[in-house]
Structures are given as C-alpha cells and as structure tokens.
Amino acid sequence: GAVVSQHPSWVICKSGTSVKIECRSLDFQATTMFWYRQFPKQSLMLMATSNEGSKATYEQGVEKDKFLINHASLTLSTLTVTSAHPEDSSFYICSARGVGQDRTQPQHFGDGTRLSIL
C-alpha cells in the first residue's frame, strides 16, 4: 500500500530555532501534499496544501512566512517552522494524494512530528 514517511518524528529545540519537517511518499508520486496541525485532544487542522512545482495554498489564519512549505519534487514536501516559539509546539502531520488517485481512495498520512519548543 501507499506509504508516507515523515521525519523527524519528534523534535525538541530552543525558542528562535527554525525546524524543518520532511514528508516523503515512498512508493508513489504525490501531486498534492497536505500539512495539518493538531493540538492535544483536538482534531486535525489543515494548514496548507502544496502542489509539486507551485506555491502552497495556505488556509485562512495560517502565517505563510512562519510556516514555509516547499514541494520541490513528486515525492518530497517540507514544512519549515521559522523562528519557532513555544506556541508553535504541536503535532504536525502530513498527508499525500497520488498521481491518478481516484476519489474513493483515502489520503495517506505520515506518522506525524511532535514539535516541542522550549
């Protein structure tokens, strides 16, 4: 089945640091990748949609200069949290949609990244 790998799974860093999270589709080409944020005991909140070779589309209220998204290839998208602060601490999870995937198929999720900013 389709596999999405997300790295790192857990990161702790100091306030002011920029953190990069990678999302890779391992056995399929992903035309579209999605980035979600999830606070404890809450649902997934879509942050942005990234399409290979074009600029990401951000959801309302999400700071594009804060959360930089790059989708340089059909198998890799990255989310960079710039100058992270404690309020950016959260669980970030990506998902991917494959080339030619029909509408009955689910999004394939990575295992998520727990980000803790001290």
Partner 1 sequence: AQKITQTQPGMFVQEKEAVTLDCTYDTSDQSYGLFWYKQPSSGEMIFLIYQGSYDEQNATEGRYSLNFQKARKSANLVISASQLGDSAMYFCAMRGPLGFNKFYFGSGTKLNVKP
Binding site for partner 1 (CB under 8 A): 32, 34, 41-44, 46, 49, 91, 93, 95, 97, 103-112, 114
Indicate the DSSP class of residue 86: G
Provide, rounded to whole angstroms, the least separation between the CB of residue 42 and partner 1.
7
In angstroms, the CA 25 to CA 29 distance is 6
Provide, rounded to whole angstroms, the least separation between the CB of residue 82 and partner 1.
23
Provide, rounded to whole angstroms, the least separation between the CB of residue 16 and partner 1.
26
Spatial neighbors of 104 by CB under 8 A, at least 6 apart, are: none
In angstroms, the CA 106 to CA 118 distance is 35
Nearer to partner 1, 94 or 117 (CB): 94
